[in-house]
Amino acid sequence: MIDDDMRIKPIGVIHTPHKMAEGTPIQPFKARGIAGSVEIYTDYMTALQDVDGFERIWLIYWFHKSRQPKPIVTPYMDDTPRGLFATRAPSRFNNIGISVVRLKGINGSLLQIEDVDMLDGTPLLDIKPYVPSFDSYPEARHGWLEKVSQDTAEGKADNRFEQESQEKGK
Amino acid sequence: MIDDDMRIKPIGVIHTPHKMAEGTPIQPFKARGIAGSVEIYTDYMTALQDVDGFERIWLIYWFHKSRQPKPIVTPYMDDTPRGLFATRAPSRFNNIGISVVRLKGINGSLLQIEDVDMLDGTPLLDIKPYVPSFDSYPEARHGWLEKVSQDTAEGKADNRFEQESQEKGK
């Protein structure tokens, strides 16, 4: 069974000022300048070599406080229910999040970052360099989000995708 | 233990013409026009609603044929060993891959895509819409990759990150 090999583990933890979903910026571009840090566990520190040359990095992480996913959701930036795969809502069938953050410095196993949109204590799964020729498509058409003014839209989350309090103890 | 909750499962499978690592494009921008498809398992089909408005989508997937990760690797586009987190090499501590592909059409549970750089049979973990204001930073400094001419650099993989044949049966 392929599933037997599909195991993931935290390789670090992301520290941010966001203690609960409510009020947390919904994306890095709504979190400009908000500082946080990434603590890489000792086993993985060597892999940080050469990372300091990159202005931005991808953090791949686990949405550890999300409630059970639903295939149709009402996203933060719209009032219309949408297919989950057409949104960046944090309750996913596999709870994997991706965010581009700004790398400000590295000190041993600690990365100083900015533009953090994840909750404090978020388990880190991977770091990948942000490479414009791989990742940047400024002109890509973007469906229902084109109708939303992203400058004025509410940029903060509420608790709609967060675990209920009775779930939190799990 | 947080690890108990960190379970992932395939929600579909990616079909591509790439049967082995050797010769596979190393990134979507080296795979322009190469067609593939994504088959979404029935349980998750409803979540495809509204996806058709997006020109590009993120595929989040599992590198199912990669060998054990090493913290220092020699990436495809350079001769110098680099820290794994400064590369997009497919052998990761958590074997999660991210690629932006071009969405050409959706027919039921089948997505026609282009710019595929993953192996045939790759397990799909998530689809997220590509949103330029979230994901596009054309000017981001990109470290050692700035010294590599990305237009002329070898754009095809070899077997350096692929499982040895004796591992493949696992």
Does B106 contact A at CB distance below 8 Å?
A: no
Judged by a CB distance cut-off of 8 A, whether residue A164 touches chain B is: no
Q: Would you say the pTM of this structure is higher than 0.90?
A: yes
* A118 part of a folded domain: yes
B123 lies in a domain?
yes
Distance CA B148, CA A134 (A): 14
Q: What is the mean pLDDT of residues A142-150?
A: 84
One-letter identity of residue B156:
K
What's A113's domain CATH number? 2.40.30.70
Question: Which chain B positions have a beta carbon within 8 Å of A127's beta carbon?
Answer: 85
A2–B contact, CB cutoff 8 A: yes
Residue range A87-139, pLDDT digits in tens: 999 999 999 999 999 999 999 999 999 999 999 999 999 999 999 999 999 99
Residue A94, chain B, CB below 8 Å: the answer is: yes
| pLDDT given for residue B3 in this prediction | 52
Is A50 in contact with B86 (Cβ distance < 8 A)? yes
B50 vs A52, A83, A88: nearest CB = A83
Residue from A29, A148, A27 nearest B53 by CA = A148
Is the residue at A117 inside a domain?
Answer: yes
Residue A104 lies in a domain: yes
Is residue B168 very low, low, confident or very high in pLDDT (cuts 50, 70, 90)? very low
A141 in a structural domain = no
Position B56 in a domain = yes
Check whether B166 has a pLDDT greater than 60. Answer: no
In a domain, B165, yes or no: no
In chain B, pLDDT over 90 holds for what percent of residues?
Answer: 72
CA distances from B7 to A113, B2, B3, B10, B115 (A): 27, 10, 8, 11, 29
Does A4 reside within a domain? no
Which residue among B123, B125, B132 sits closest to A140, beta carbon to beta carbon? Answer: B132
Query: φ, ψ for residue B107 (rounded to 5)?
Result: -135, 100
Measured in whole angstroms, how far is the alpha carbon of residue A102 from the centre of its chain?
13
Candidate from B51, B88, B94 with C-beta closest to A134:
B88
In this structure, are residues A63 and A90 in contact, taking their beta carbons and an 8 Å threshold?
Answer: yes
Q: Which residue, chain included where needed, has tokens 């037997």?
A: A4
**In chain A, what residues touch B142 (CB-CB under 8 Å)?**
53-55, 129-132
Count of domains for chain A = 1
Residues 51-70 of A with CB under 8 A from B: 51-58, 60, 62, 64
Write out pLDDT tens, residues B82-104: 999 999 999 999 999 999 999 99
Q: Confirm or reject contact between A28 and chain B (CB < 8 A).
A: yes
- pLDDT digit string (tens) for B27-49? 888 888 999 999 999 999 999 99
CA distance B88 to B92: 9
Average pLDDT of the residues in B125-143:
95
Q: Does A17 touch chain B (CB under 8 A)?
A: no
Task: Note whether B50 contacts A3, CB cutoff 8 Å.
Answer: no
B110 touches chain A (CB under 8 A): no
3-class secondary structure, B2: helix
A1 and chain B: CB distance < 8 Å anywhere? Answer: no
Question: Per DSSP, which regions of chain A are E strands?
Answer: 12-15, 35-40, 56-62, 72-73, 82-83, 96-107, 110-114, 122-129
Rounded-to-integer distance, Cα B101 and Cα B91, Å: 21
Reduce the DSSP state of residue B31 to 3 states and report it. coil
Domain of B113 in residue numbering reads as 2-160
B144 in helix, strand or coil? helix
Q: Minimal CA–CA distance to B69: which of B166, B169, B162?
A: B162
